[in-house]
Amino acid sequence: MSSILTHRLFWPVVMLLVLFAINLVAFPGFFVIEVKDGHLFGSLVDIVRNGAPTLIIAVGMTLVIATRGIDLSVGAICAISGAVACSILLGSPNPGSVGTVVTAVVVAVVISLVLGVWNGFLVAVFGVQPIIATLILMTAGRGVAMLITEGQILTVNSPPFKVIGSGFLFGIPVAVLIAALIFTAAAVLTRRTALGMLIESVGINPEASRQAGVRSRGLLFTVYTFSALCAAIAGLVLTSNQTAADANNTGLFIELDAILAVVIGGTSLAGGRYSLAGTLVGALVIQTLVTTVYTVGIPPIATMVFKAAVVTAVCLLQSPTTNAVIASWRKPIAARFRKATV
Partner 1 sequence: MTAQNPVVSMTDISISFPGVKALDGVDFRLFPGEVHSLMGENGAGKSTLIKALTGVYSVDSGRMTLAGADVAFSGPADALRAGISTVYQEVNLLPNLTVAENILLGREPRRFGGIDWRAMRKRAKELLTGLHLDVDPGSLLGDHSLAVQQLVAIGRAIDVEAKVVILDEPTSSLDADEVAELFRVIRDLKSSGVAILFVSHFLDQVYEISDRLTVLRNGKLVGEYRPEELLRIDLVQKMIGKDIAVLDDLERRTHSAQSGGDLDGERPIVSAIGLGRKGAIEPLDLDVYEGEVVGIAGLLGSGRTELARILSGVDRPDAGELRVDGVSRRFRTPRAALSARIAYSSENRRAEGIVDELSIRDNIALALQADKGWFRRIPKKRQDELAASYISALNIRPANPDALVRNLSGGNQQKVLLARWLAVAPRLLILDEPTRGIDVGAKAEIQKLVANLAENGMSVVFISAELEEVLRLSNRIAIMRDRRLVADIDNDDLSVDSLLAVIADGSVTSGATS
Partner 2 sequence: MRRVNGARSGTTRKHAARVAGIAAVAALAVTLSGCAGGGGDQAASGPKDAGDIVVGFAQVGAESGWRTANTKDIQRAFKDAGIELKFSDAQQKQENQIKAIRSYITQQVDVIAFSPVVETGWDAVLKEAKDAGIPVVLTDRAVDSEDETLYESFLGSDFIEEGKKAGQWVVEEYADQTEPVEIIQLEGTTGAAPAIDRAEGFAEVIGADEKFQVVASQTGDFTRAGGKQVAEALLKSNPGVDLIYAHNDDMGLGAIEAIEAAGMVPGQDIKIVTVDAVKDGMTALAEGKINFIVECSPLLGDQLVDIVKKVVAGEDVEKRIITEETTFTQEQAVEALPERQY
Q: Which residue stretch of 15-23, 84-92, 303-311, 327-335 sits at the interface with partner 1 (rule: CB under 8 A)?
A: 327-335
Asked if 294 touches partner 2 (CB under 8 A), the answer is yes
- Which C-beta is closer to partner 1: that of 65 or that of 137? 65
From the list partner 2, partner 1, none, partner contacted by residue 159 (C-beta under 5 to 8 A by kind) = none
Q: Which residue stretch of 175-183, 227-235, 299-307, 333-341 sits at the interface with partner 2 (rule: CB under 8 A)?
A: 299-307
| Amino acid in position 2 | S
From the list partner 2, partner 1, none, partner contacted by residue 293 (C-beta under 5 to 8 A by kind) = partner 2
Least Å distance, CB 64 to partner 1, is: 16
Measured over the CA atoms of residue 169, residue 192, residue 198 and residue 114, the dihedral's sign is negative
Binding mask 14-53 for partner 2 (x = CB under 8 A): ------------xx-x------xx---xxx--x---x---
DSSP-derived letter for residue 313 is H
Site for partner 2 in 84-113 (CB under 8 A): none
Asked if 273 touches partner 1 (CB under 8 A), the answer is yes
Q: Which residue stretch of 21-29, 139-147, 179-187, 214-222 sits at the interface with partner 1 (rule: CB under 8 A)?
A: 214-222
Q: Which residue stretch of 30-38, 54-62, 145-153, 206-214 sits at the interface with partner 1 (rule: CB under 8 A)?
A: 206-214
Least Å distance, CB 63 to partner 1, is: 13
Alpha helices (H) along 121-215: 130-149, 159-166, 174-191, 195-204, 206-211
From the list partner 2, partner 1, none, partner contacted by residue 312 (C-beta under 5 to 8 A by kind) = none
Asked if 172 touches partner 1 (CB under 8 A), the answer is no
